[in-house]
């Protein structure tokens, strides 16, 4: 765990916000708007509503961020890099098919910037539940996702 903290010097300042959402907007339109909101290290990522996403999102984000700061990403955005780690397959097409959102009735939205997340949710999501995500290397020595709340 110390090596990860050394590799990502600003690890204590990293945030990840997650929401379980539904929308009346079509999934292709949602994905297009999420892509437009993604630039540099800020991202909006839409994934399938799946327990494997909940179990892996924090580690996938930290691995993707580490690849971003090292300049070793396989994809063009942190959002796609996260999908690669979530899918456990370094094939972008398979990662999008396996972990990317495919239904606007139930999907997760992940974002590392609260203002961008709030704007996206207000504009496109009709229902949402918050995910409590903890990225805390100092206190617990591990990464945890606590669960879903209203």
According to the model, what pLDDT value does residue 141 have? 47
Q: What pLDDT is recorded for position 101?
A: 92
Of the candidates 122, 123, 131, the one whose C-alpha atom is nearest the C-alpha of residue 150 is 131
Strands of 95-143 (E only): list them: 107-111, 127-134
Q: Which residues contact residue 66 at a Cβ distance below 8 angstroms, ignoring those fewer than 6 apart?
A: 4, 7, 8
The domain made up of 24-134 is a member of CATH 3.30.2380.10: yes
**pLDDT for 1:** 43
- pLDDT of 9: 61
Exposed/middle/buried for residue 46 (C-beta within 10 Å: 0-12, 13-18, 19+):
buried
Q: In sequence order, which residues have a C-beta less than 8 Å from that of residue 127 and are 6 or more positions away?
A: 21, 22
CA dihedral (131, 69, 29, 133) in degrees, to 10, reads 0
Looking at residue 134, its pLDDT comes to 73
Q: What is the pLDDT of residue 140?
A: 47
Per-residue pLDDT of the chain (150 residues; tens, 9 = 90+): 445 556 666 666 788 999 999 999 999 999 999 999 988 889 999 999 988 888 888 889 988 888 888 888 888 889 999 999 998 878 888 888 889 999 999 999 999 999 999 999 999 998 888 887 877 655 544 454 445 555
Distance, in Å, from the CA atom of 110 to the CA atom of 66, rounded to the nearest integer, reads 17
Q: What is the pLDDT of residue 108?
A: 95
């Amino acid at each position: 765990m110390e090596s990860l903290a050394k590799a990502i010097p600003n690890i204590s300042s990293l945030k990840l916000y997650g929401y379980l959402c539904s929308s009346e907007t079509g999934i292709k339109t949602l994905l297009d708007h999420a892509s437009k909101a993604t630039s540099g290290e800020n991202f909006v990522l839409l994934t399938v509503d799946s327990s494997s996403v909940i179990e892996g999102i924090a580690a996938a984000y930290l691995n993707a961020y580490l690849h971003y700061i090292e300049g070793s990403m396989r994809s063009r955005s942190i959002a796609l890099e996260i999908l690669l780690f979530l899918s456990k397959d370094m094939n972008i097409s398979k990662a999008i098919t396996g972990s990317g959102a495919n239904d606007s009735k139930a999907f997760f939205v992940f974002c590392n910037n609260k203002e961008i997340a709030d704007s996206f949710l207000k504009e496109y999501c009709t229902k949402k539940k918050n995910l409590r995500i903890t990225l805390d290397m100092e206190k617990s020595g591990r990464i945890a996702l606590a669960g879903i709340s209203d």
